[in-house]
Amino acid sequence: MPLLSQRPSQPRITVILTFLMENWSPGKAPPYSPMTSPPKAGTEDRAGILWSNYGGRFGMARLVRTARRHGVFGTACINARSAELFPDTVRQIAAAGFEIAGHNYAQDQVLSGLSDSEEVALVRRSLDILTEVGGQRPVGWLSSTIATNERTAEVLKREGMLWHGDYNDMDLPGMIETPAGPIVGLPHSDFADNRVLRGAPIDWFTTYKDLFDFQYQQEPDSMINITMHGNFGGRPLMTAQLDKFLSYMGQFEGVWMPRHDELAEWTQAQGTPEVKLSHWYAP
């Protein structure tokens, strides 16, 4: 059975793809360096910086190409700095039919440590850059490191966002109330590709296969958010696992794979403050 970008009349399970394109501030590298021994204190981690550039140079293209080969789209959450460094990559992602969403300016500039005015300025700057590079203003946002504060959802709503993807206290999308009005909250992944950074990539496939089998069989109308980083998941050894998992899901009926904005629009159209768990029942 084919995977479905359009919502079927009776979907059995919803699966969304979150592809992350991340770069750090100038001279900074990811905290999880590809080297087993960290560089000397005060020394630039050049290996880490080059490693983070892989997503913009090769990784995101491989992830998007793999998803499209299976007939599905997803959402690319992109640091605005990444868009400045690799604008052609962002344009190609948009041209492939993927949604472009905000993901802070630089990966290390987390919202939780900013003042009110600093947070608003960072969100606006990030969205403006992505709009200029990608050709369309984003309607969704996933914060870097999922670091937010009590005002973030309101800030995003005031900036015209439809959805906010920083929630790890929910299984299904739902409406989040803010002083500026409701915004759709989307649950985040529990097991992203960087969990197997120094392990075996097959562990990622096994984990998601077990998760899919459990939810498909035991929890109809449930949801899975698959998160892959361009600088890691976009490498052949990890994208091979995504390709295999998409092929596996394609054997099942009723697998709906919308973009985040499409899922958010459907959630908003339900007209209820919260999507209830239809599979909540006594054992």
Give the per-residue pLDDT at 190. Answer: 87
> Pick from 175, 188, 134, 183: which is nearest to 155 by CA?
183
27: alpha, beta or left? (left if phi > 0; alpha if psi -120 to 50): left
Q: pLDDT class for 43, splitting at 50, 70, 90? A: confident
Please provide residue 93's backbone torsions phi and psi, each rounded to the nearest 5 degrees: -60, -45
Instruction: Supply 26's token pair.
Output: 């100038």
Domain ranges of the chain: 13-28+48-269
Query: Quick one: average pLDDT of 215-239?
Result: 95
Distance CA 194, CA 197 (A): 5
Q: Which of 93-97, 168-172, 211-215 has the lowest mean pLDDT?
A: 168-172
Residue-wise pLDDT tens digits, 243-272: 999 999 999 999 999 999 999 999 999 865
Query: Quick one: average pLDDT of 31-46?
Result: 74
Which letter does DSSP use for residue 4 in this model?
A: B
Give the per-residue pLDDT at 31. Answer: 80
Query: Quick one: average pLDDT of 181-208?
Result: 91
pLDDT above 90 (res 180): yes
Instruction: Supply 50's token pair.
Output: 């080059």
pLDDT above 90 (res 227): yes
The whole-chain average pLDDT of the chain stands at 91
Q: Which CATH number fits domain 13-28+48-269: 3.10.20.880, 2.60.40.10, 3.20.20.370, 3.30.710.10?
A: 3.20.20.370
pLDDT above 60 (res 145): yes
Please provide residue 185's backbone torsions phi and psi, each rounded to the nearest 5 degrees: -100, 130
109: Cβ contacts below 8 Å, ≥ 6 apart: 25, 122, 144
Q: pLDDT class for 281, splitting at 50, 70, 90? A: very low
- Using CA of residue 110, residue 112, residue 118, residue 119, what is the dihedral sign? positive
